[in-house]
Structure formats: C-alpha cells, structure tokens
Structure 1
C-alpha cells in the first residue's frame, strides 16, 4: 500500500448500481479525507459521462452530517459545497478527518432518527437539519442515479499516517498547554 501524503486535488470514480458485487450495491461512494484548514475547503462534482444527477455529502469522523448539496447553482446535474447556506449548523469549523460521500439523486443518507439533511431549495448547501441530523449515518435510501464522476477538491489532503496524526495531536497539546500558561 503506497504511503500517500500532501494535497488531494481530485477523485474519479463511478456508481454502477451493481447489486451483485462484493459488499452489496454500488449507489454511493465514501472517501476518508483530511481537511487541514476548513476555510479553504471546497468540493465540486463533475459528470464524466451520461445524465447523472450527483449529490455530495460530508460527514465528520464519527459519521455525523456536516454538509450536503443536491444541485450546484450553475448546473443541475452537478453538486458543490463550501460553507453552508442555511442556519442549521456552524458548518465545517475544525480541521480533521472527514468522509466525503457521493451519491446519485434518489439515494440520501439517513440516521436512526430519519433523514440527516433537509433541503429548503434544490441548490442549498445544507447542514444536518433533518429529523435525523443529530445522529450518525446508518443507511442510504436506494437506488440512486448512476454514472461516472469526477470531484475537484480544494483544501483537502490525503489522510495522514497514524504516526503523523499523533505528532499533530501532540503539537496541539503543547500549543494548548503553552496558552494556558500565558493566560
């Protein structure tokens, strides 16, 4: 397994809808990513082939919803997000490990409490304001649209190796400790 580090600028994949492959159906893909500077984060999906209506989702490391978008402002088959455009959440505020998910229209994330995101408009970048927004993702509605996709990313890196995370965490503790001393 290669040790990847540094910026992650794009992801390419496909949702085939194949229910007979390993692990079940293929109506969603989810990627583990590292966001070092939340204010720099931006993701935009592009359709590679066919009339594929894309949705993008962002979850924190524990599976709680952070952001969701059904349709980008400019093209209805694309999805994009940066900051939330509703008042449901503070949005993406802390650096860390997140899960970026993509699904086709009709396949939405649910928790044990219900739908995680509630879109007031088709182009809203939503926080976790659905009935199940306070709980982690448990399942997806199926089926959804299928096709090939390409996601352009800004402010995203490969997930650091565990030793790197330990050093980053230790550095944060030293910084916090130093701040307490000077207060």
Structure 2
C-alpha cells in the first residue's frame, strides 16, 4: 500500500512567454506547484491591439488572494491598468480598475478563496472589458474599489472582450497566496507499511544477537 506525499517546486517570478492570450483556452499556463510572487509581461495596444493578457494560477481554499500593480518600481505599470479574476469555468469573480489609494494602478485585495483549484487572472488596459454571451461581466468599474460580476453578463462565463484601450506598456503584477499548480504527488509507504518494515528490521537484529550469543556459548563449552 502507498500513500501520497506533497512536494513543492518553487515558481517565483512568472514571465510572459510570447503573448499570453485573452481567453481561458489561450491563457498562459503555469507549471510546477510553488508560490508565484509576481507576473511580468507587456501590453502593446498599438499597433498589435494587445489589450489584455490572461494567466492560469492555482489558489487554495481558505486563503485570501491578492494581486496588485501598485507594488512595482518605476520600470513597470506606467499606464492605466485593470485586473480581473475568473474561476476555472471562466465565471467572473472580482475586478478592479483604479486602486482607491494608488490609481490608476489596480488592486484585487483579500479575495476569499472558497474552493481549491485553477483560476485565471487577467490584466487589461483601462476601458477594455470582459464579456459573456449576455454582455459585460462586471459592468462599469469607474469609481469602484472592487467589483463583483454585476454586469448584464455576470451570470455567464467569459466569451471575449469588448471596446478598445489606448493603455499599454510593461507591467508587473505582485501576488499573494498564488501558486503555479497543486502539490506534486510522490509515492511513499503508508505508516502501517513503515511499521511492518520496522518490526521486520527489529526481528532481524534480534535473530542476529541470538545467533551470536549461541556461537559464543558453544565456544566457551569447548
């Protein structure tokens, strides 16, 4: 019998590879199982119409997830950003356009995670908004701190984006309680198996001691 033991591979900084897509299917995937401390990439509104990037991350139930573009140095986030979080099915969860304390950068702060699994984090230039078949998922984000999926399309999953944006540049998103993936599983003996192995080893030692004692006694008798 075998039990499963978790191991962790460190992820740290995730750097956009090529162009992260704007849908779940085209998002940039993460590998391993370690902490993701930050994500770096770029949006090029002109001439490529690269208005949004999406990344897959792993969150644990019971934790509080945060993501912000306010915590970087001057080489990043010199444009008006928006952040969006979706679940594994593409349902909108929370979004922020302007951090109330540090706009026009963005912050999703202390989002309570209720189920462990993969989630999708998107960054976009301000004015570029995610939609479902029913319309805008989050509605207007103007003058709001954080917003849930309160738009007309909030009850349906992400299908695309609408509008355009004049915002874009190099970005860094600093994350808290985000991981690249679930724990990597390795096979280890169950505690019961370890106990049997221990008893077997102890028995072998005892037999060797008895054999040695018998040999010694036979020598003395001669």
Quick check: TM above 0.5?
yes
User: CA RMSD, aligned part only?
Assistant: 2.5
**Counterpart for residue 85 of structure 2:** 58
**Residue 151 (structure 1) aligned to one of 173, 186, 189:** 173
**Which TM-score applies when normalising by structure 2?**
0.61
Equivalent pairs counted in the alignment come to 153
C-alpha displacement of 1:139: 1.2
Q: Per-residue CA shift, 1:73-106, capped at 9, x if unaligned? A: 211121111246xxxxxx6422211000000111
Structure number with larger C-alpha Rg: 2
Matches within 5 A, 1:30-179: 30-46=54-70, 48-49=75-76, 51-83=78-110, 92-119=113-140, 122-144=143-165, 145-160=167-182, 164=185
Report the Cα offset of residue 37 of structure 1. 3.8
Q: If the length of structure 1 is used for normalisation, what is the TM-score? A: 0.73
Distance 1:37 1:74, change over 3 A: same
SS of structure 1 residue aligned to 2:83? strand
SS of equivalent residue, structure 1 residue 9: strand
Q: Take 1:3 and 1:13, find their aligned partners in 2: how far apart are those partners?
A: 17
Offset at 1:38? 4.8
SS in 1 for 2:36: coil
CA distance in 2: counterparts of 1:105 and 1:68, whole angstroms: 12
Q: Which has the higher contact order (CA 8 A, sep 6+)?
A: 1
Answer whether contact 2:59 2:116 (CA < 8 A) is retained. yes
Gaps of 5+ in 1: 85-90, 168-183
